[in-house]
Amino acid sequence: MDSAMILQFLVTGLTNGILYAIVAFGFTMIFSATEIFNFAQGEFVMLGGLLAVTFTQSLHLPIFISFVAAICIVALIAGLMQRFIISPAATTSFVTLIIITFGIAIFLRGLAMFVWGKNPYALPAFSGEKPIAIFGAVITPQVLWIFGIAIVLFLILTFFYTKTIYGKAMLACNYNRDSARLMGIPAKRMVTFCFMLSGALGAVGGVIIAPVSMTFYDQGLAVGIKGFVAAGVGGMGSPAGALVGGLILGVVEAFGAGFISSAYKDIMAMIILILVLCFKPTGLFRTGTG
């Protein structure tokens, strides 16, 4: 095996890993704020991608405006979903809540199938398709965009959580809801905001990945599962864990597919998570009891 091949696998792995990390991050945000297992997380990715396709191709808007518009709409959908469906059902058991989010996922999938049909769509790359060769590995410009946007996103989130009052309030709610409320933080509004942010993140993932892999109405569940697995590997409710878990998952998959077998690449992710859960149920990045 030569170094160019390894680099190629690494780039592929990181590209997918970034999507998994973004989904896992949104998932873990909702989980730590509300203890809800949000099965509709993958649907945010799907909606983001498909909305961006509509904005660029049917309405001929510039890619940047489509990007922002898609994110805003998905954030709005996520907020409405929390406000009108999840919040009224909040006192039921966690199994019922899981099934409710699954119902929302089915609903959104049905909506997407109705609006966009069953065909896959490709979003044009943000800037050209001409591949760039770096150390023997071939990289499309879109991959560089994905890396860049991921880094910017990471910086924004770090800034948001450590420097802004909203971010700190949200962290406080995640840490202990009742204490946060006693400190005068509007916990209910924070939860809605948390869903919106999570939806927006999912949409970002959907838009940036759409030029690389196609986007279609049924992609949500598969992406969602990868996100859950990444969140589980990193430790449920740990933001840093979600990011690292996602990247690990993407890279392991790419190398597994390259060196062992592409048919069984999905199994590796699952087995990694089962092993992590068996030996350290709280995940790699979280302390405490499972």
Partner 1 sequence: MKREDLFLFLLLSAIVFVVPLFIKNSYYISILVFFGINAIMAVGLCLLLGYSGQISLAHAGFFGIGAYSSAIVTMHGLPPIVGVAIGIILTILVALTIGIPTLRLRGHYLGLATICAGEVIFICFKEMDSLTGGPSGLPDIPLFEIGSIVLTKPIHYYYMAWILALAVIYFSLNLVNTRIGRAVLSFRYKPVGSEDGALSVGIDVTRYRIKIFVLSTIFCSLAGSVYAHFMSFISPENFDLNFSTLLLIMIVVGGMGSIWGAIWGAGIMTYLPELLRAFKDFDTLIYGGILIGILVFMPEGLRVCFSQSLFGRFSITRRGNQDQKRGS
- Residues within the interface to partner 1 (CB under 8 A): 31, 34-37, 39, 82, 85-100, 102-111, 113-114, 188, 191, 221, 225, 228-229, 232, 236, 263-264, 266-267, 270-271, 273-274, 277-278, 281, 290
Q: Minimum CB separation from partner 1 for residue 203, in Å?
A: 20
> What phi and psi, each to the nearest 5 degrees, are found at residue 139?
-125, 130
Q: How far is the CB of 125 from partner 1 (least distance, A)?
A: 30
Cβ of residue 225: shortest distance to partner 1, in angstroms? 7
Q: How far apart are CA 146 and CA 159, in angstroms?
A: 20
List, in order, residues 6 or more apart from 68 with CB less than 8 Å away: none
For partner 1, give the closer residue by CB, 156 or 274.
274
| Minimum CB distance to partner 1, residue 21 (Å) | 17
* Location of structure tokens 């924004």: 156
Considering beta carbons, is residue 137 or 272 the nearer one to partner 1?
A: 272
Looking up tokens 């990193």 gives 234
121 forms beta bridges with 215
Using alpha carbons, list the distances in angstroms from residue 27 to 23, 44, 105, 279, 281. 6, 11, 14, 23, 17
Place of tokens 């769509």: 121
Smallest distance, Å, CB 48 to partner 1?
19
The C-alpha atoms of residue 49 and residue 125 are separated, in whole angstroms, by 12
Backbone angles phi, psi at 266, to 5 degrees: -70, -30
Strand-pairing partners, residue 133, are 138
Q: Supply the minimum distance, in Å, between the C-beta of residue 253 and partner 1.
A: 13
**Residue number, 87 or 213, with CB nearest to partner 1:** 87
